[in-house]
Structure 1
Amino acid sequence: MRSLRTAGIVASVAAIGIVTIGVMQRARSSNELREWTEANAVPSVVVAEPKALGIGNGLQLPGRLEAFSNAPIYARADGYLKTWYADIGTEVKAGDLLALIETPDLDQQLAQARANLLRVEADARLAETTAKRWQAMLGTEAVSTQEVDEKAGDYAAKKAAVIAARAAVDTLAATQGFRRIVAPFDGVVTSRSTDIGALISAGTSNNGPALFTVANTRKLRVYVQVPQSYMPSIKLGGEAELSVPEHAGRKFKATVQSAAGTINARSGGGLVQLVVDNADGSLLAGGYADVKLLLPANANGVAIPASSLIFAREGLQVATLGPDSKVLMKPIHIDRDMGKSVEVTGLQAHDRVIDNPPESLASGDRVQLAAEKKTDVANKS
């Protein structure tokens, strides 16, 4: 009987212990659940560090390289190509002989014009002598005033014929001078579209391709279509950097020389011309270039990721993280859209901008940093 009572007491104590342990475990689980719920109720955010615009950011655009001077050379005299002296790739100086044309028809025309000049000069001399003699006899009754005037008029007509004949000779002689095809400036021959014995016709592109093309490639022009919103930032003398596929990693310095001052309706951009030195011949005229225009910076602006922008009814905003881990909305104005990043005013470099903010985020909300991660805007530009 006594042993049964002892066993009952032990069982009762064990039951009370089990109940107590269960209650404690449930309380602990409840606390943990509450703490987990409260922790997950606070949104986790990633902070982006604004980049102060101490220097101008670059505007990356495609460009086209062109020779500083480029001259297709056509014949000014008909004939046959006698010989040529410069092929593609030949460096030439201004006035260097590129080719020589045989002009048999022109030679005959010039000889005929010179003979005609001699004839009209002889006629003019005879008319002059006759006019003087008749003028001397005007005081006698041998000739009339009318006849004297006729002789003087004939002499004047003969003098005019001499002038016309001499002009014809000079024209043909000048045309004959075009038998020599010469380089118009220092440069390099980039094309030759003729050969010995080829029939040459004077004219322009309507008569066929140019005989030669000479280009000055010691300096190159770079043409870029700049978006309309950036045109006011383009200043004459501004700097730029360009790179080309054939020289990976190498940067070439260029200078803004001029701008068209109009916007192309098709592209929505304005044509800007830059000049780059090419004394070593590294750059190829007609090629593609990746141009980075170094635009002047806004001293009051910063660069932030484009993904941090909030388009609200109140206007364009960004969410910043205050020292108390609460959200503060700040209105901003976009100065330049650089694609992945934007240059804005309305923020300071020390502001902690929330990147990819949740749609439900509002000013005053409490947030926490996600694993203490920060987004550097330099990695997003």
Structure 2
Amino acid sequence: MVLGAIAGLLVRSQHRTALATTTRVLSVPSVAVVSPKPSPAASGMPLPAEIKAWVETPIFSRVNGYLKRRYVDIGEDVVAGQLLAEIDTPEVRQEYARAQGQLVQAQAALGTAKQYSDRWALLVKSGSVSVQENADKQADYSLKAAAVESARAEVRRLEELLSFNRVTASFAGTITARNIDSGDLIVAAGGKELFHLAQTRKLRVFVQAPQGMALGFRPGQTAELTLQERPGRVFPAKVVRTAGVMASDSRTLLVELEVDNPKQEILAGSYAQARFTETNAEAALTLPGNTVLFGAEGPRVCVVKEDGKIEVRPVKLGRDFGQMIEVITGVGLKDRIVVNPSESFENGSTVSISEPPADSKKQ
């Protein structure tokens, strides 16, 4: 009987110990955790890009007149200095002829003044004329010489103006617009654009990068350019410079790239998608939206440390991608973040980690 009593006590003790252990285990909440992932922007998210010609310029006339002849049309490639059009300038020709006549008159008057100047210079030495009369002749000669120089300058000005009747290309490129035709009236001051010239064998690409990517750009960095009208094609581009500051209205950074276009397969003025393959993956991270606690203290997440203790950590949020939300600061790639954290969690709370739910795995 004594042995039976002892055996019964041992069994009851074991039951109590097992019950206490089970109670302690059940009192520790089980949580699912996820780790942050690189932001879509930092991991190669395509950004909208605007493509522009490497160099482009409108071409205007420097003289008034009528279009005598046009030599090029839209879509034609031209070389630097190539003649694009000729302008008939009858008024400038008349002014030039009059200026030439005035130069001849001024030169004749200068010759006469020179003779009188030389003669009076001799006569004043012999006392035949007064010093004042000689001074007047010398001054008249100087005035006539100045008049000749003025007439020459006017002739040179009109010669330069006449040369503008030849409209030429300022650099090699493609004519992208033509707004005149033979016989049209050409007005220099405030007149319309004659041609538009663009250099398109190399192109500039402009991208407005979001703040989360702003620190990940450097000159020489590579990118991939894709266009809707060129499905399956990828055009390599590289970063040449950035604006260096965020735009105050959009909080984006202007990034300029260049892309070679020897076959002119890309049209200037198009829109494209630019994917940067070497951006800084640490610039921003993302977490499922159901990992963030919102309250008076601001957004927070619960991080499970190595010892199974909770650390409630404040975070700074960025853009909302729907199920995922961008986290600018507060977490790292290796942190274990509690999914659907309880409001009762506080620093030092003990938890056990279970498998994350299926929807969290997909995220």
Residue 278, structure 1, aligned to residue 261, structure 2: yes
What is the aligned partner in structure 1 of residue 191 from structure 2? 207
1:347 to partner: Cα distance: 5.0
What is the aligned partner in structure 1 of residue 231 from structure 2? 248
Q: What is the letter of the counterpart of residue 196 of structure 1?
A: S
User: Paired residue for 2:97, among 99, 111, 124?
Assistant: 111
1:102 to partner: Cα distance: 1.2
Quick check: 2:29–2:350 contact (8 Å CA) kept in 1? no
Quick check: 1:44–1:370 contact (8 Å CA) kept in 2? no
What is the aligned partner in structure 1 of residue 149 from structure 2? 163
Q: What is the letter of the counterpart of residue 103 of structure 1?
A: T
What is the aligned partner in structure 1 of residue 292 from structure 2? 309
Partner Cα separation in structure 2 for residue 280 and residue 309 of structure 1:
51
Quick check: 1:332–1:344 contact (8 Å CA) kept in 2? no
Partner Cα separation in structure 2 for residue 180 and residue 251 of structure 1:
42
**1:124 and 1:239, CA in 2 relative to 1: closer, same or farther beyond 3 A?**
same
Quick check: 2:316–2:330 contact (8 Å CA) kept in 1? no
Per the alignment, in what secondary structure is the counterpart of residue 142 of structure 2?
helix
1:75 to partner: Cα distance: 0.6
1:135 to partner: Cα distance: 0.7
1:280 to partner: Cα distance: 2.5
Q: Which has the larger Rg?
A: 1
1:350 to partner: Cα distance: 4.8
Residue 235, structure 1, aligned to residue 218, structure 2: yes
1:287-326 per-residue CA deviation (whole Å, 9 max, x = no partner) reads 212233443344xx883425233345666543456789x6
1:256 to partner: Cα distance: 3.0
Q: What is the letter of the counterpart of residue 295 of structure 1?
A: T
Unaligned runs of 5+ in 2: 1-24
Q: What is the letter of the counterpart of residue 74 of structure 1?
A: F
Q: What is the letter of the counterpart of residue 272 of structure 1?
A: V
Q: Which moved more, 1:362-371 or 1:68-77?
A: 362-371
Partner Cα separation in structure 1 for residue 69 and residue 153 of structure 2:
30
1:33-54 per-residue CA deviation (whole Å, 9 max, x = no partner) reads xxxxx99x9988664344479x
1:327 to partner: Cα distance: 7.0
Quick check: 2:32–2:353 contact (8 Å CA) kept in 1? no
**1:346 and 1:232, CA in 2 relative to 1: closer, same or farther beyond 3 A?**
closer
**1:348 and 1:120, CA in 2 relative to 1: closer, same or farther beyond 3 A?**
closer
Quick check: 2:309–2:351 contact (8 Å CA) kept in 1? yes
What is the aligned partner in structure 1 of residue 337 from structure 2? 353
List aligned pairs for 1:256-275, cutoff 5 A: 256-275=239-258
What is the aligned partner in structure 1 of residue 4 from structure 2? none
Unaligned runs of 5+ in 1: 1-37
Q: Which moved more, 1:151-160 or 1:60-69?
A: 60-69
1:183 to partner: Cα distance: 0.6
Q: What is the letter of the counterpart of residue 156 of structure 2?
A: D
Identity %: 36
Q: What is the letter of the counterpart of residue 296 of structure 1?
A: N
Residue 290, structure 1, aligned to residue 290, structure 2: no
1:160-195 per-residue CA deviation (whole Å, 9 max, x = no partner) reads 111111111111111111111111101100000000
What is the aligned partner in structure 2 of residue 76 from structure 1? 62
Partner Cα separation in structure 2 for residue 335 and residue 218 of structure 1:
43
What TM-score does the superposition give when structure 1 sets the normalisation length?
Answer: 0.74
**1:108 and 1:344, CA in 2 relative to 1: closer, same or farther beyond 3 A?**
closer
List aligned pairs for 1:210-221, cutoff 5 A: 210-221=193-204
The CA RMSD over aligned residues, in Å, is 3.6
Quick check: 1:85–1:97 contact (8 Å CA) kept in 2? yes
What is the aligned partner in structure 1 of residue 5 from structure 2? none
What is the aligned partner in structure 1 of residue 3 from structure 2? none
Quick check: 1:302–1:347 contact (8 Å CA) kept in 2? no
1:114 to partner: Cα distance: 1.2
What is the aligned partner in structure 1 of residue 76 from structure 2? 90
1:128 to partner: Cα distance: 1.5
Per the alignment, in what secondary structure is the counterpart of residue 375 of structure 1?
helix
1:207-249 per-residue CA deviation (whole Å, 9 max, x = no partner) reads 23x1100001122222233445654544344443332221234
